[in-house]
Each structure stands twice: as structure tokens, then as C-alpha cells.
Amino acid sequence: MSPSILLPYIYGLDLSKNEFGNDQQFPISLQEMCNLRWLELNRTNVNRLPEFIGTLKSLEKLSLSHNNLRDVPFCLNNLTSLRSLSLRDNHVSHTQISARLFNNPDLSILDLSHNNLQAFPKDIENAKGLIVLNLSSNQIEQIPSHVFVSLFELVHLNLSDNKIDTLPAQMRRLTSLQVLILNNNPLIHAQLRQLSSMNSLETLHLSNTKRTLNNVPAILEQLPNLSDLDLSANDLPAVPDVVYKLKALKRLNLNDNQISELTGQSDSWPQLEILQICRNKLRSLPQQLMRCTKLRRLYLNSNQISLYGLPRGIFNLEKLEVFSAADNNLETIPDALCRLGSLKVLNLNKNKLLTLPEAIHFLQLKELDVSDNPDFVMPPKPKECQKGSAGQVAPEQPTAHTDIQQKRAARIRRLNKPEQRNSPGSGGSSETVLRGMRETAKRKHALDSNTSNNGHYNDNEEIAGRRWDEQIERPQLNYSEFFDGAIGHIAGITCWEIENFLPKQLERQLNGTFYTGDCYIILHTMVELSGNTDWNIFFWIGQDATLDKQACAAMHAVNLRNMLGASCRTQREEQGDESDEFLTLFNHHLRVIDGARTETGFWVVRDVEHPTRFYRASGTQKLHVELVPIEATSLDSRYVFFLDIGPRLYIWNGKKCNSMTKAKTRLFVEKLNKSERKGLSELIQINQGEETDKFWKELGGKPQDFQVTSHVANDFVPSRSILYKVDLGQEFIELPQVELEPGGFLKKELLHTRNIYILDCHTELFVWIGKKSARLVRMAATRLACELLSMIQRPPHAVITKTLEGAETQVFKSKFDAWDDVLAVDFTRTAENVSKKGADMKKILQENEMKTNLTALFKNRPPWQTRQAAQEALEDWNIFLLQPFSMFVYENKKFVKLPDDERGQFYSHDSYLFVARYLLPSEDESMDNSELEDEIKDSDTERIVYFWQGRNANNTAWLSFNFTFKQELIDVLGDFEIIQLIQQQENQRFMAHFNRKFIIHNGKRRTAAQRMQTPLQRLTQTQMYHIRWCYSTIMTRCIQIEATSANLCSEFCYIVTVPLDSGDIIGIVYVWIGNSVHPDDALLAQEIANEMYNDSYTIQVINEGNEPENFFWVGLGDRLPYDLTADYMRYMRLFKCSNDNGFFVVTEKYADFCQDDLLDDDCMLLDTGTYVFLWKGPTASIIEVKFAAKSAELYIQHLRTREPDRPRKLRLTVKNSEPIEFRKCFHAWSKHKNPPRELEKQNAFSISQQEQQKQAPKKSHSTNIFV
């Protein structure tokens, strides 16, 4: 296939940034691209287009920006399909534009900006289909009155930077115009009355157009869609009154005027997002402007605003992201500005700043500029920032849900409604599960009935035995990948040859023609008169066939027999020893040819051929290598050259070359030898004047009387590389250029594994092939590279190099910025050192690496989630739950359905099961879920079964679920995921489904029989519940604790139930609200109490300090001292010290930790803000204890520098002897679980600590260690 055949399939080509200075350099092969749809020739230095461009009849888009064209070529008149033409930044004159160009009815986009037009092009009004017209940055003085009579379909018109002084009345016909840009025109006589008919106008730019308060058209208020207005550089003394009446404004530019104040009408812009009013005479901002709550960017540079000029209500601008007030009279900024959580850029340079509020440290600023303020002093960080506490951090702004998420939520609610109406209880999902379980039991019973008679088999019934070969079960395999399903049904002979381990069917005319190096499978199909089919299967082995072909022929012959269900055996036939039965199939005329037709599937070891390459290296900061001709005349004394011949690598150093370039080239070649040649190539370094005859021979010989000269130009600049992406559609190929970052640097991240790219380095083209790219695209890319090589004028030594992802050459990597730096060679190591430790530096560093990891100690405390963010997360977790999940509890050795009124109530001695069904989020975020069908497919959902086990529950329920109930659920629900949860170690997704009402009782749940016998059971003692959350309000739990007043704290809520001996009222429920409790938590406590207790209890809400003496304090035993604050909640952190991974590691536990996170075989560090406790597990090793103690010292030293005002003390404690300062950091502390008997033994260290504690006073539960 000739490469030129590919050209007609090219639909798009980007040849920008190439050099096409004259016709000789212009690619002639473009004329063969008859189906070309778009062509970009930007920055190609073109001064004249060849005539054959006019033959591209399918061309729709042509871009010739930033070139040297002086006229519009006549060949463009023949482009009848042209829709978009860009001639931006050329030297085109209005007299050099052919009128025929505008006779094209399809021309819709025309860009003639930045040219030498002095008037409108002739007959431009004939282009009636124009939608976008850009004539900016020219020298146009007048607009002909007839131009806009026909151009009434214009949507975008840009006439800025011209000399226009008036506008024709015919512009009233532009009723579809949406964008009108007239900046930098002397519109002295223009009253802009034409705007009254432009009802679709959205953008109007009138910068530097001699606008005054009198000639700003009052008809602007008649434009309901106007959202972008630019009145900058007009010397306006005030904001025109009509501007205050524009309700739809989103962007307003009033820069470079003489405005001294904004009136009280500033609140009339409810949609305003960007306000620019720099370089005016403002002294203050009105309070009404703060009502523009959608404002995102506010620019006030170069005014006269002081601190008192910024209104206090600025905190209402919750969406403000940029506040720029440079060059003003600010001494500081109001505290309200620091409450804007969305603020990212704060520019205050060139003011009179003295300081800033301390709250500035709470803002997550990306840019803060306070330069040119000589007396400015940055305020110190507040304590909250130094401690890393998230409790005082400015709250995050809520993130708005997209319309797609809202539609998806509405759809889920709509789908849930019918099930909620039909099932008054917990929904249809529970009934579905139970109904499916009953159906499974019925089917099982029916099956048992068919196989037995009243439980006894019939002994009189004889069962016929089967032959031994019938008892062998054939493997249920899919042979469709090897053989066609229609094989074996038509009488005749079918042959397969073995190629690359697989059978490949031969054409019928090749049957009986075999090769000595191949193997074949032969199927003889026979159809009897009765219609029965029989088969004979042979596999033929050539005498020169490789082992893989022989094995695969035998194996696939058996596969063929299994697929057909044939009872015959497979017969082996070897070359020269064929049976008569086999030869009869071919009438004894078997043709055997020497050689092999197919390739072996084994790897064939071939010597790698390295093409000879000669490169010139230059540059000191970044090494640039460029391919040059392989001849002695390429040498230059100012450069370094390296010659790659495969087994030998020559480095030639010129006398005048930079020493840095020498070193970099040497390291580059060493890296090449190590990565591409496995260090087998010989590296030879030669200085100028020391060349050997062998070197000159490798360069093709030294010319007679040859002297190395400086022939490279002094102003030589390496050519800029261009990266193309190969796009292949169903019937087209496109070659766009990849957009680079500013500066034109190539990054490794630009290459994606599913794509193929062509890197054009002028003298060398690289075809980079991604691992997941399509095979057809690979073939097209290779041919495109050949076309690209010949299309652009290049030196004769230019070549194409293929490179695969993960196996890139060093020359290819050198074209990218910061990709795989050169090899670091250690010249200080001696031969003896290398022989002892080896040469692999990576392995040596790994062996010498410290086997400890203490990084967790030096990280900041993870910030806690704000209440608003937690509420949004809770809604996000619940939005994909299709219906309330089914709930079961393990009771009497089986799982029974849990009543709906017990949702969210758990018992520590029980186990629970929850079956949830979720809607999978759509991968296509642009899909409108409201347009989809209401029925949900199983493929769009996932099922999760949560198994919750109480802290004191045994494993019986878990074993019963795995061995019995799990299979029943699979029969009903299909596949599902199982998540096992332990009390107080639940994940956020599970907790979010209970809406903060998660209650854990002590003991075991009463069975249904017990409830029937005694519906109302009187309490025998006072019960007390503690409501608390850590990290996120989603993790709120209400857990029963020991009923004593010493457990109270002013920062929490408690529920205390005091029993009564007689009467209809069983007990009194007190909801105790601490003085420092958040109002949301107080309301939650009341709601939990109402759900926990029925009308048999009296519920009273009491605030701290108003407790009744007779019942409350008496019920709790006595009034004991309790904590008034819970400062430890703002500092507590738990670290695990362990060597489970083979080395000592300190890891931080999740912020919502619990008592069961204290593991017996590890040591733990607990930071309470006052103490750092070292907790030792009973079976922790001495090594762990020593390393943990040292880690605690390092942690405390680190806190001294970070929090000097809050020093910590180190204390040691052991299991079962924890002090109250330690225990109160854990929610609902109780007795430790009983470990296995072998873990009860404690080491000598623990025993000694217990002996010390026995001798110490009873109230001393830990040892103080002052560091």
C-alpha cells in the first residue's frame, strides 16, 4: 500500500509553526488531500499561497494567522465549501481582497483583524451568511451605510481599535447581534440609538469612545439580556443613571474614569459577578453594593479608599474570590473581609498598611500581595492555626450541587415513592427478601419430593448404570475463539494450520498442500442418509515443525472433538508415515512443500540492529541533541558530538565547547548505554585533535586536508519541536497539534497511553505509540509520519524513529522537560567497595535506609469537618440509596426482621444485618437523568449487606450468616458486597443513613416472646446516655454509660432515665443540656429522647444549673464534681506504634477512634492537649516500648516549637489502669474486652508497672515522665 493512498482520508491538518517562506517550501502533497476539511497554517511565515489550495473543494476552515500575506489569494475564491477564514495579523489591504470571496454563501466566520484595512472590503455585504465578523485593529474610518443591510444574521461584530467616528443607521437591522465591541474608536457623533433594536445584545464594549453622561444612550435599559458592559477610559465623572437600571449585568468595567462615588442604587445589580472600577477617585464603597451577593471579583486599584471606606457588610459577599485594592490609602482591612471563605486572591500592595487582622491566617489564599508597604508588619499566627485545630477555622463555603445531581436526586425520590406508598412499613425491599427466601425454600422442598417418596427411596426401582466414558464430564469451555460454530455440519474436508498457538482455517483450495515446518488439523465430516453426522479427526505433524506447533495441533484437535461432541478419537499422522485412511481423504495425492508457512509462537532471539546516528549536543542548562549528517564536515569545535554505532559510542569534544556541555553529554551517553544497551556498548571519549583512524572510518573517512571549522551560525537556535496527535475516525484521519504550556515546553504528561503522537524535531520524527492504542491507528501513524517527513522541506539525513510507551529512547526523552534526568555516577567508590556492596545504588540505598517511619508525628492534626459540610456529605451519601434498607437482628439462632420503630437502636450484645441497594453514579456527567426511563436496571445498581456486631456479642451470628443466610441472600439478590462493622468502628456511609440518630444500649435486646409477655418492663436502676461526635457530625452516637454525675460535662448532652416504682408512668427522662452545647446538638438530644421512649415515660428538658434535686441528682447517686470544659476534644490525637511490617512505624488512628483501637500487642500515644500518654499493651515487645518512648519525646519536642504556649507532659499508663484524663478521650469507656488466655500473660515490664501501682496511692493511675 503506497503512503500516498492515505492522503485522501486526511480531514484535518495543523502545520502551524513550520517554515513555508516561499512556494518552493510549501508542501505540494496538500493538493492530494481532496477531502481535507480544516487546515491551519499559523505562524508559518507564508507570504503567498500556491494556486493548488483552490483545488481543496471540501475545505471548510482555513487559518492563516500571524503570517506575511499582503493580499487575499484569488485561489481562495474557488473554495466553495469554506465556512471559516482567519487572516489575523497579516499585512492585507482592503484593495487586495477579491470581491468574489464574499459570493460564498457558506462563509460564516471572517477574521481580518490586525491588518492594514482602511475601509470595509468591497462587496462584503454579499456574504449574507456571516455570523462572526472581526475587523479590529485596522485603520477603518467610515462604515458604508449599505454594509449591514444584508448582514442581518451577524451574532458577533468586533470593530475595535479603528478610526470610526459614527455608526450608520442601518445597524438597526442587526437584531440577532449578541456581541458588539467598539473599543478605541472616536465615536464623537455616535448617539448609539441603533442599539434599541438589538434585543439579543449581551456584550457591549465602549471603552475609550468619548462617552459622557449625556451621550451614554438611555435606551440601554431596553436591552434585557445585556450582561457585559465596558465603559472604561471615558473620563466619566459618575456612573450614568441608566447603568443602575441594567438588572442582568454580570460584568461591569468602569476603569480609567473620574468617578468619585457610587450612589445608593448599587444594589440594583443582583446578577453582578465582576466589578472593575480601578484608576478612579473613589473614597468609599456604598453599603448597598454589599447586597450584590453574587459578586466574585472586585477590582478597586488606584483609588483613594481608606479603611473606613470599606463597609462592614462586606461579609455578605460570600462568593467573593478576588479582592484587589492596590494603590489606595488602606492601613488595614476590616475583620469582615477575613470571614469570606471563598477568597483566594488578596492584592493590597502600594497602600499604607500597618498590619492585618489575625484572622487573615484562616483564609486559604492562593495569592497575597502586601508589597510596597514599608511599615507593614505581618500579624502572628493565632493559637488555633499553630495548633492545627479545625474548631476555629473559618467555615468552608457550601459547594452548590449541579443540576445533574439535583435531577438524579429527584429521579431517585420519584422511584422510591411508589414503594413507600405500597408498603406501609419499612418498604418493599424487606418483603422482597423474605418472599424470595420462602420461594427458595419451596423449590428446595419440591426437589426433595421428586427424589424421594415420603422421605424413603423406592428400592424396587432399578437405575440403569452408565458406561465409564459417559461418566467423564466434558469440560464446559467456549471454543468459539478457535473454531467457527458452523463447522462439522457440511460433508467434506476442513483443514486448519497452527499459527501463533492458535488454529487458522485454510481456504478449501489449499487442502492437501502441507509444509514441512507446519502442523495441521484435518476434519472429515460424513452425513448419513438418516441425517446422522459422523466425524474423523486427524492432526498432521511436519518433520521440521517446532515443538509449540506439534503440541497445539494435538491440543486443538481434542478441543475440536469436544466442541462437536464426537465420540471418535483424534489420530496422529506424521510426515512420511501417514495411514491409508488419512491418504484416502486426498486421493493419495498429498503435496508437501519444504519450509514453513506460519510463524512459531515462541520468542525468536534476534540480534538487535542499532542504526548509526550522529548527534550534535549543545546547551548548558538543558542539553539539546540534534541529528546531523554522518560525515566529518559536520564537526564544529564549539560543540560536542556523539556517534552511535551500536557496539561503540563515541563522544567527540570540540576545543571551544563549554565544559558543562561536555559533562552533560558524557552523562547522557552513559544513561543511553545503561538503559538501551544494558551497558554492553563501549564508550570512547575523544578530544579534538586526538581522533583515531577508526573514528574517521566510522564517519565515512577523513577528507584530504580537512580542518574542523566553526561552520554553525553564531545565532543558532535549536529548532522548536512540534507534537502532533493522531486522531482516527471511522472514515477520516486528523493531525492536530497538541497545545503546549506557556513557553512551549513539552511535558511527559501530554502523552496519554490510549493515543499515538508524532514528535517533529525537524531532522528526526518520533512516532510514540501508547500501550492501549488501537492497532489501526498505529498503522496510520506510521504512514502519516512518512507523509509528514516528505511534506515539509528537511535535510536529507532526516529519519523516522518508532518508540513504544515505556521503552522511549534517551534522545526522545531529552526533548521533554524534566523527563528522566541523566544518570548520577559516583566516581568516589573504589573497586573494593563495589565488590562488597555491588554496583546497584538503588539496592544499596534501600539496605542502608532507616527502618523507622515517624512522619505521622510531624503532620498537622487533620481538620474536623464543618457542620455545613457534614450535612452536605450526609445528603450525598443518602441520595443514591434507592429505598430504606431491610433490617434484621440475630435472634434464636436465626435472622428475624427488625421493627421499623427500632431503626437506629442497637444493643451491645446483639448482631444486626442491613441490606441496602444503591444507584451507581453515572459515568457520563453530561447525561440528563430526568430524560431516562424510570425503571432502574440491575446493572445500574449495587447491593451492599452491612453486618453490625456489638462490642460484647460473640461470633455465632457472623458464622451463621456466612454458612446459611448468606447463600439464601445470594439466591434472592444475586451478587452483593459484604461489609462487616464493629461497634464504634462504623464508616461514614453507614452512619449517614441514620441522620445522627445512632443509639447503642448496653445488654441484649428483648426477644419477641418477652415483649409479648411483658410489653412494659420497669427499670430497676437509672440509665444514662452520652451524646457525642468526633471529626464529623455524621459520626454522632448516643451510647449508654455508667449512671453517675461525675460523667457529666458542660459541652455535651445527656439523657438520664430515672425509674419510678409505681403508677402508670414508668420513669422520668431528663434531657440534660450543658451550658456550652451547640443549639443543633441540643435539638438533636430532644429528638433522640422522643424516639427512644413512648408515652409511658415523662420527658423533661433541663439546662445545666436547673436540675431538680429530688429526682435528678438522687437518681445519679449524688451531686459529684464534673468537667465544665472539654478542651481535649480540640487537641486529642491517637497514634499507633507497631513493628508489624518488619520495622517500627507510627501511624495516626482515625479521628473517630474508640477504646477497642487500643491493641494488646502494640503501644499507643494519646495527645490530650495537656499530657501525652504512652499506653503499653500487655503483649507489646520491649523494642516497641523503647521506640514508642523515644517517639513520644520527639513528638513533645516538636510541639514545643509549634505550640510553645501549651507544653505537654509525658505520662505512662498500662491496660486496666488508665487514669481519668486518658479515659475521657474515649466515648463511652467501659471494661476492656477479655483477651484469649494466652494473651493474658504480661511481660516483665507490665508486671513491674503493676507492682509500682499497688504501692502507689489508689488515685494515681499513671507515671509522669517530664521530658
User: Residue 907 forms beta bridges with which residues?
Assistant: 1001
For 160-180, what is each residue's pLDDT tens digit? 999 998 998 888 889 999 999
Give the lowest-confidence range in 309-323, 396-410, 506-520, 971-985: 396-410
For 790-808, what is each residue's pLDDT tens digit? 888 889 999 999 999 988 9
- The single-letter DSSP state of residue 485 is T
Order across the sheet with 570-574: list the strands.
Answer: 502-505, 492-499, 519-527, 533-541, 570-574
- Is 1256 a residue whose pLDDT tops 80? no
- Is 927 a residue whose pLDDT tops 80? no
State the amino acid at position 178 in one-letter form: Q
Residue 442: pLDDT band (50, 70, 90) is low
The candidate with the shortest Cα–Cα distance to 81, out of 129, 15, 18, is 129
- The single-letter DSSP state of residue 456 is B
Q: Cα separation of 1260 and 926, whole Å?
A: 64
* Residue 1027, in any domain of the structure: no
Give me the pLDDT at residue 1014, please: 81
Distance in Å from the first CA to the final CA of the chain:
81
- Which parts of 91-143 are beta strand (E)? 109-111, 132-134
Average confidence (pLDDT) over 1185-1192 = 93
Q: Cα separation of 699 and 717, whole Å?
A: 25
- Grid cell 503493676 is found at 1250
* Residue 508, in any domain of the structure: yes
- Is 289 a residue whose pLDDT tops 80? yes
> Can you give the three-state secondary structure of 27-76, one letter per residue?
CHHHHHCCCCCEEECCCCCCCCCCHHHHHCCCCCEEECCCCCCCCCCHHH
The candidate with the shortest Cα–Cα distance to 323, out of 367, 385, 371, 267, is 367
CATH of the domain at 1261: 3.40.20.10
Name the 3-class secondary structure at 583.
Answer: helix
* Structural domain count, the chain: 4
Residue 834: pLDDT band (50, 70, 90) is low
The candidate with the shortest Cα–Cα distance to 774, out of 735, 723, 728, 738, is 728
Q: Cα separation of 25 and 50, whole Å?
A: 11
Give me the pLDDT at residue 22, please: 66
Name the 3-class secondary structure at 218.
Answer: helix
The candidate with the shortest Cα–Cα distance to 236, out of 266, 217, 208, is 208
Neighbouring C-beta atoms of residue 132, cutoff 10 Å: 15
**Are 126 and 102 in contact, with CB atoms under 8 Å apart?**
yes
Give me the pLDDT at residue 630, please: 92
Q: Which of 374, 396, 418 is the last residue of a domain?
A: 396
Q: Cα separation of 226 and 504, whole Å?
A: 69
CA 968 to chain CA centroid, nearest Å: 38
The three cell numbers of residue 819 are 523527563
Average confidence (pLDDT) over 1056-1061 = 90
- Is 366 a residue whose pLDDT tops 50? yes
**Greatest CA span in the chain, whole angstroms?**
126
Q: Are residues 1135 and 1255 in the same domain?
A: yes
Residue 498: pLDDT band (50, 70, 90) is very high
For 324-346, what is each residue's pLDDT tens digit? 999 999 999 998 888 888 999 99
Taking CA atoms, 628 is separated from 319, 641, 1117, 1126, in Å, by 58, 9, 96, 75
CATH of the domain at 311: 3.80.10.10
Average confidence (pLDDT) over 1166-1176 = 95
Taking CA atoms, 480 is separated from 476, 570, 980, in Å, by 12, 20, 41
Q: Which of 396, 420, 446 is the last residue of a domain?
A: 396
Name the 3-class secondary structure at 786.
Answer: helix
State the amino acid at position 164 in one-letter form: I
Q: Which pairing describes strands 61-63 and 38-40: parallel, antiparallel, or unpaired?
A: parallel
For 241-274, what is each residue's pLDDT tens digit? 999 999 999 999 999 999 999 887 777 889 999 9
* Residue 358, in any domain of the structure: yes
Give me the pLDDT at residue 828, please: 55
User: Residue 253 forms beta bridges with which residues?
Assistant: 230, 276
- Taking only Cα atoms into account, the Rg of the chain, rounded to an integer number of angstroms, comes to 42
Give the lowest-confidence range in 405-414, 417-426, 428-437: 417-426
Q: Which pairing describes strands 1163-1167 and 1171-1176: parallel, antiparallel, or unpaired?
A: antiparallel
For 526-560, what is each residue's pLDDT tens digit? 988 887 889 999 999 999 999 999 999 999 999 99
- Is 423 a residue whose pLDDT tops 70? no
Average confidence (pLDDT) over 1255-1264 = 40
For 999-1058, what is each residue's pLDDT tens digit? 999 999 988 888 888 877 888 899 999 999 998 999 999 999 999 999 999 999 999 999
Q: Per the confidence metrics, is the pTM higher than 0.75?
A: no
**Are 664 and 728 in contact, with CB atoms under 8 Å apart?**
no
Q: What percent of the chain has pLDDT over 70?
A: 85
Residue 831: pLDDT band (50, 70, 90) is low
For 39-87, what is each residue's pLDDT tens digit? 999 988 888 888 888 888 889 999 999 999 988 888 888 888 999 999 9
* Residue 171, in any domain of the structure: no
Q: Are residues 1136 and 1261 in the same domain?
A: yes
* Residue 572, in any domain of the structure: yes
- Helices H, strands E: what count in the chain? 22, 53
Q: What is the DSSP string of 1033-1052?
A: GGG-EEEEE---GGG-BTTS
* Residue 92, in any domain of the structure: no
Residue 605: pLDDT band (50, 70, 90) is low
- Is 396 a residue whose pLDDT tops 60? no
Torsion of CA 1217, 1221, 1224, 1225, to 10 degrees: -100
* Residue 874, in any domain of the structure: no
Residue span of the structural domain in which 1216 resides: 1127-1265
Neighbouring C-beta atoms of residue 1214, cutoff 10 Å: 23
State the amino acid at position 279 in one-letter form: R
Give me the pLDDT at residue 1051, please: 94
The candidate with the shortest Cα–Cα distance to 189, out of 170, 214, 172, 171, is 214
Let me know if 407 is exposed, middle or buried by CB neighbors in 10 A (0-12, 13-18, 19+).
middle
Give me the pLDDT at residue 456, please: 47
Residue 945: pLDDT band (50, 70, 90) is very high
Q: Cα separation of 499 and 600, whole Å?
A: 7
Taking CA atoms, 721 is separated from 168, 284, 822, 871, in Å, by 49, 53, 21, 51
Sign of CA dihedral 1000, 1001, 1004, 1010: negative
Give me the pLDDT at residue 476, please: 63
- Is 156 a residue whose pLDDT tops 90? yes
**Are 615 and 628 in contact, with CB atoms under 8 Å apart?**
yes
* Residue 757, in any domain of the structure: no
Give me the pLDDT at residue 925, please: 46
**Are 1171 and 1208 in contact, with CB atoms under 8 Å apart?**
yes
Q: Which of 347, 380, 396 is the last residue of a domain?
A: 396
For 1092-1102, what is each residue's pLDDT tens digit? 998 889 999 99
Q: Cα separation of 1152 and 1036, whole Å?
A: 10
By residue count, the chain amounts to 1267
